[in-house]
Amino acid sequence: MFAGLLTLALAAPVADAPSFELATLHTSTAHVDDLATDGKLVWAGTRGGLEVYDVATGTLQRRFDTRHGLDTAHVWSVDLSNGQARVRTTASECVLRDTTFDCTAAAGAPAMEPTVGPRRDGHRVTAIVNAGTQRFEATAGSGLWIGGETPRRLTADDQPCSNHIGPMLTDGERLWLGAFHEGLCFTDDGRTFTHASEGPRMINDLTSIDGVLWIAATEGLFRTTDGITFEREASIKPRGVNGLARDGDMLLVTTPGALWTVPLGKGRTKAQSRPGRTRAIQGLVHTTDATWLTTEDRGVVRVATSGDTTRFDLAAGLPASWFLAAAADNQGNIVAGSLRNGVTVLEPDGSHHQVGGLPDTWIFDVTRIADTIFVGTQNGAAAIQGEHVTTLPDIPHPNVHGFAEYRGQLWVATEGGLAVYDTDS
Amino acid sequence: MLPHASLRLLASLTPAALALAASLAPTLAEANGRLTATTESGDVGELDLLEERLTINIDRQYADTTLRQVYSNHSESRLEGRYTLQAGEGAKVHGFSYWNGDDRIVGEVLENSTATEIYEEVTGLGGDPGLLTESGEGAFTFRVFPIEPGEDKPVEVDYHRRLERSGDRVLASFPLAEPAANATITLHDERGITDLESTSHNLDIKRIDAEHIEVRTKTPKGKPTELDLSWTIGQPAFTLDTAIHRDKGQDGYMLLTLATPDVAPSTKRIGKDVTLVLDISGSMAGPPLDQAKLAAIDVLGRLSSEDRVNVVLFDDGVDKLYNTPRAVKDSTRKDAIDFVKKAHDNGGTNIALALKESLAAQTRDDKPDVILFLTDGQSDSQETLEVAADDKGDARVFTIGVGDGVERPLLSRLASTKRGRFTFIESPEAITRKMEKLYDTIETPMMVDLELSAKGATVTRIYPQSLPDLYASDELVIAARVRGDGPTTITLTGRRGGKLETFETTLNVPKVNQRPWVGRTWAEARTDDLLEEIALAGETEELVEETTELALAYNIVTPYTAFLAIPASELTEGASETLAQARERKSKILAANPDAAALSRDIMPPGDPILSVRAPASAQQVTAYFPFGLVEDLVWDEAREMWTTRFLVPKGVEDGAYDVKVVVVDKNGAVKMSTVPYTIDSEAPDFEVELEVTDSGVRVLAKADPELGVLREAVVALVDDPTVRIDLTLHRGEFTGELKLPPGMHRVRVVVTDDARNEKSREIEVEVK
């Protein structure tokens, strides 16, 4: 079990690097880019993999994703000519051989020319094929449909709400997922997903305090207790809320131009405008003695409880001033990920060093789970535990945006779906 | 930012000339459309005004003026001119141009990054582009160069203003350089125009019909410095009126007005509780506090025996004269004046505390509570506004800012939240006049607790966001967007004399109506609100993007846009290309407006900008097609009233210029396309740096390699202790500053950043002796 391994690691020096094995992959096939049919089966190229449906019954027969040789789950073209299934993904041409695909590098999707066509369920229809007596309609966002007088949707509706999830939060039995576009969704069993469609859309961070889920979204700061009704926090007027952390009975919130303290009980919201003279805060992490802000323009800004600020940026000798995410490790260090200059560890004495061995220097996310720091990059994910830097295998998409522990497994949010790992191999 | 750099430029280039000019030339207050000039050696030159002509179009109370003047350089010297126009309070310039020979050099509003780049390139080569700046309330200046010996120099300025209404009279005044200037005025008002007269000029009036009049000035009466006009409109007070602008297929713009009558002499005066709150913090030290005390004493002298008075002094603590306001009599008036006179500047500033205690100290009886807050506003904005929002009392807060260091956004927002007014007093000379006007206002409340509602079409994005109380001879002006069409009833309620009154108007919102100034009025109100929000809550990409887009579409000067005029002959190849690209982008915004689509950043490294498209909420589809193969459907954002999405530019996309194609399908199936340009820029800037050791440290100068773009920021820090650092300031295209260092050998690190936030650093050793 994941937690068990880490407990063992605390008791004794770590001898071996942790191992990760992909257990399952969850994707959304709601965005369908192309269809093809051989009369008996309809093949749907989606942003969450390739699905095959039976024409006669409309039931899903097979699904292919990165576990079946595809280099990425985004299939934008399907071709069945010559009796062979041939698909195009964003970087490859892949041919189905028996049950897996062989992929060779090819040009990605061309720049699409704007088109206007019919709509289904409020979404663009991207492709239509006729097979048997049925008309199959592919949509951008509502899956595959059978058209006609009584249209019906074929794509399952219990999938994740997006293939591009960012922040994730385990809250008791529930895992909350914040999508880049589509808003909030959750799972209570790790297999089926529900879209909290009434909530805000572009989610940047999540935190749960005393039964209340707080949501940092581009539209503002929201809260919910049930995932059905949402309330906007009126005291935070600016948009672009991008970071959340708890400090005792206060909620710390960041927008690009300010660090806010929102009382969780009575009291008044306060703001520290442009701390460290930054105009572009990206997120925050809070420790017992300070709040650390990652910024686009001032590096990592340490905000002491007195309000005094210290900048850790290129002028201070760090490799850059553009940092996206940070976490505090169990040694009192701040581990900060930059846009394109890797991960910097800021030590309590003010010194700093770079983390080597990461799959990429373009960083999206830094998350701490127990004693492990996970790093999401633009070329995969890695786990940092003590001296070990372990690249996670079988990542479905190179862009990795978030991590969470849920039901004893490691969930990794990428732009090609949710990868779930066991840490026992 | 560019306008400030320009002001410094003026000061540093020709300080002697300006001083000379100030001593010989008219002062700013008198310089109504004046061109003062200096020679290359710094002497003041002579410019005769040959011709002055005003062309004024007035639709309802919106006056659009073109002022054309021709100056003549009779000297034998080449002159550099400084044109100054005092267009009046509330006036805004939306165009300016001058001529070099037959070439008309037209000013245009550009984004600051573009204007800065062009400006620096041209000035770096010794050129001198025209840069229009706002130099005071309704006052504008720009440079004109060169003015050749013997040349006749035409200059033209376009400005606009909403004219004041007092009762049923409309009052208009237009500054003149010469009393005998020729002016043609076209008036149109469907409410009817009668009794047109002028105190400044004899007029030739040609009445077309009850709603149209054409006027020409004849001879001046005396030596007026303004053209004054007034007329009566056929609309009684307390009439709720509307004006609409709407382009086909788009949401409309609405202007809603309601005027109050003049106060009748027989009107009984109502006593009130007046609390004067005076900021005596350290930031007010010197002239600001002296001026604030003068303003406070002026008010205290106007109070009558029906009023009650209190005075509160504050810095980081609060000192009250009384616990609650006391009846005004000789003794209390004297106590109050003495209390103000002996106040001296002190420590920090806590406006929130002062506001809280002042609000708590009201008597809350039938007497209206008025709090006059005299401050520079330099304090915690959020906390202050929270106190105002939390207070449930009826006290009206009037904020008065005196002097240059005033934090206008906070004071304006505070007054708006508490249904008061913000008064800016620019100089000690203006105190008496402005306080008299303010006090007359406070004396005569006509209607309070106003609320607006609409049935039929949807009215949104309403400015002002809090409706103010109305006083005698006042006019409520509301600008809003309107969605939908057909019969619509607008209702305004308020309390008059303690009783609830309702005013209603029903209109048929048209599908198309051309009244562009209504749209412009809304855009200016929206821009002011955005700038206030940015000042109070910090910049976000979305706020800056919308502000910039509005400013470009409507030629508004903001901190993100600058008004620049450059002769084509002075443009280098690089500057020409930059200008051409900026014009193309602007023309797309103008052509697509109000469908204008914009990215939250248009110069970016790979990252996640937001794409916003202005299209009707009823559109069936808004889809963006990106050059790297991504297709995204945008979603309607109710709060912003725009369609939005965000996207990540993939890491491997090469630097260069790209277009996002946007398709909008409206509810009827009509299709429109637009493109949004953006640039991927991941290349680090390069720069030159010079260090000069001083007595106390090192002076640093950093400037960009012009081949590699424009620098946005620069900082220098001590390598061994990076907390020892300064942010360099931009001046004429160069970043400069002095880093204080003790004697010894030091290693410093200079870091520069460009608009796409690419950085470059350089370490240099220096010895301070």
Tell me, what's the pLDDT at B544?
Answer: 83
A397 alpha-carbon distance from chain centroid:
11
Sequence-separated (6 or more) residues with CB below 8 Å from residue A242 = A204, A205, A216, A254, A255, A256, A281, A282, A283
Tell the burial category of B581 from Cβ atoms under 10 Å away from its Cβ (0-12, 13-18, 19+).
middle
Tell me, what's the pLDDT at B113?
Answer: 75
Amino acid identity at B112: N
Amino acid identity at B310: N
B663/A255 touch (CB, cutoff 8 Å), yes or no: no
* C-alpha pair distances (Å), A11 with each of A15, A422, B498: 12, 21, 76
A268/B390 touch (CB, cutoff 8 Å), yes or no: yes
Tell me, what's the pLDDT at A271?
Answer: 84
**For chain A, what are the domain ranges?**
2-23+160-422, 30-153
Tell me, what's the pLDDT at B3?
Answer: 24
- Is B400 in contact with B297 (CB distance < 8 Å)? no
A271/B610 touch (CB, cutoff 8 Å), yes or no: no
**Which CATH fold topology does B687-768 show?**
Immunoglobulin-like (2.60.40)
Tell me, what's the pLDDT at A317?
Answer: 95
Among the partner-chain residues A258, A311, A314, the one whose CB lies closest to the CB of B538 is A258
Residue of B nearest to A316 (CA): B722
* Confidence check: pLDDT of A4 > 50: no
Tell me, what's the pLDDT at B711?
Answer: 79
- Is A206 in contact with A213 (CB distance < 8 Å)? yes
Count of A–B CB contacts within 8 Å? 138
Residue A218: strand, helix, or coil: coil
> How would you classify the pairing of strands B47-59 and B182-188?
parallel
Tell me, what's the pLDDT at B271?
Answer: 83
Tokens 């009036």 locate to B205
Q: What is the pLDDT of residues B258-292, one digit of tens each?
A: 999 887 655 666 788 999 999 888 877 777 788 88
| d(CA A161, nearest CA chain B) in Å | 15
| d(CA A120, nearest CA chain B) in Å | 11
Which of B209, B205, B78 is CA-nearest to residue B146? B78
Domains B2-230 and B583-682 share a fold: yes
Tell me, what's the pLDDT at A237?
Answer: 78
* Confidence check: pLDDT of A391 > 80: yes
Among the partner-chain residues B645, B661, B671, the one whose CB lies closest to the CB of A181 is B645
Which of A35, A30, A36 is CA-nearest to residue A48? A30
**For chain B, what are the domain ranges?**
2-230, 241-261+456-514, 273-443, 583-682, 687-768
Tell me, what's the pLDDT at B40?
Answer: 67
Tell me, what's the pLDDT at B14?
Answer: 22
Q: List % helix, strand, coil for chain B (3-state, nearest 5).
A: 25, 45, 35
Tell me, what's the pLDDT at B9?
Answer: 17
CATH class assigned to B583-682: mainly beta
Among the partner-chain residues A220, A314, A340, the one whose CB lies closest to the CB of B751 is A314
Q: What is the pLDDT of residues A176-232, one digit of tens each?
A: 999 999 999 999 999 999 999 999 999 999 999 999 999 999 999 999 999 999 999
* C-alpha pair distances (Å), B43 with each of B82, B128, B152, B327: 14, 18, 20, 60
Tokens 């007088």 locate to A149
Q: Which CATH architecture has domain B2-230?
A: Sandwich (2.60)
Contacts of A313 in chain B (CB under 8 A): 751
Tell me, what's the pLDDT at B17?
Answer: 21
Q: Cα(B703)–Cα(B17) distance, rounded to whole angstroms?
A: 28
Least confident of A11-20, A34-43, A93-102, B253-262: A11-20
CATH number of A2-23+160-422: 2.130.10.10
Report the share of chain A in percent with pLDDT over 70.
Answer: 96
Q: Cα(B529)–Cα(B549) distance, rounded to whole angstroms?
A: 14
Q: What is the pLDDT of residues A285-301, one digit of tens each?
A: 999 999 999 999 999 99
Among the partner-chain residues A257, A297, A315, the one whose CB lies closest to the CB of B725 is A315
Among the partner-chain residues A90, A112, A270, the one whose CB lies closest to the CB of B625 is A112
Q: Cα(B490)–Cα(B506) distance, rounded to whole angstroms?
A: 6
- Is B212 in contact with B85 (CB distance < 8 Å)? no
Right CATH number for B273-443 from 3.40.50.12280, 1.10.10.60, 3.40.640.10, 3.40.50.410? 3.40.50.410
- Is A247 in contact with A286 (CB distance < 8 Å)? yes
Contacts of B648 in chain A (CB under 8 A): 399, 415
A108/B625 touch (CB, cutoff 8 Å), yes or no: no
- Is A157 in contact with A197 (CB distance < 8 Å)? no
Mutate to test the interface with B, among A314, A318, A324, A399 (most CBs of B within 10 A): A314
Q: What is the pLDDT of residues A48-74, one digit of tens each?
A: 999 999 999 999 999 999 999 999 999
Which residues make beta-bridge pairs with B480? B254
Mutate to test the interface with A, among B351, B651, B666, B760 (most CBs of A within 10 A): B651
| d(CA A166, nearest CA chain B) in Å | 13
Q: Cα(B755)–Cα(B114) distance, rounded to whole angstroms?
A: 11
Q: Which residues of chain B have pLDDT under 50?
A: 1-31, 593-602, 605-606
Tell the burial category of B130 from Cβ atoms under 10 Å away from its Cβ (0-12, 13-18, 19+).
buried
Contacts of A321 in chain B (CB under 8 A): 751, 753, 757, 759
Structural tokens at position B649: 């530019």
CATH number of A30-153: 2.40.128
Lay out the sheet containing B458-463: strands in order across.
B241-245, B252-259, B475-483, B458-463
Report the share of chain A in percent with pLDDT over 90.
Answer: 80
- Is A321 in contact with B605 (CB distance < 8 Å)? no
Among the partner-chain residues A112, A296, A362, the one whose CB lies closest to the CB of B757 is A296
Structural tokens at position A13: 């020096």
**Is the model more confident about B334 or about A108?**
B334
Q: What is the pLDDT of residues A27-36, one digit of tens each?
A: 999 999 999 9
Helix (H), strand (E), coil (C) string for B406-475: CCHHHHHHHHHHCCCCEEEECCHHHHHHHHHHHHHHHHCEEEEEEEEEEECCEEEEEECCCCCCEECCCE
Q: Taking residues A12-30, what's their average pLDDT? A: 83
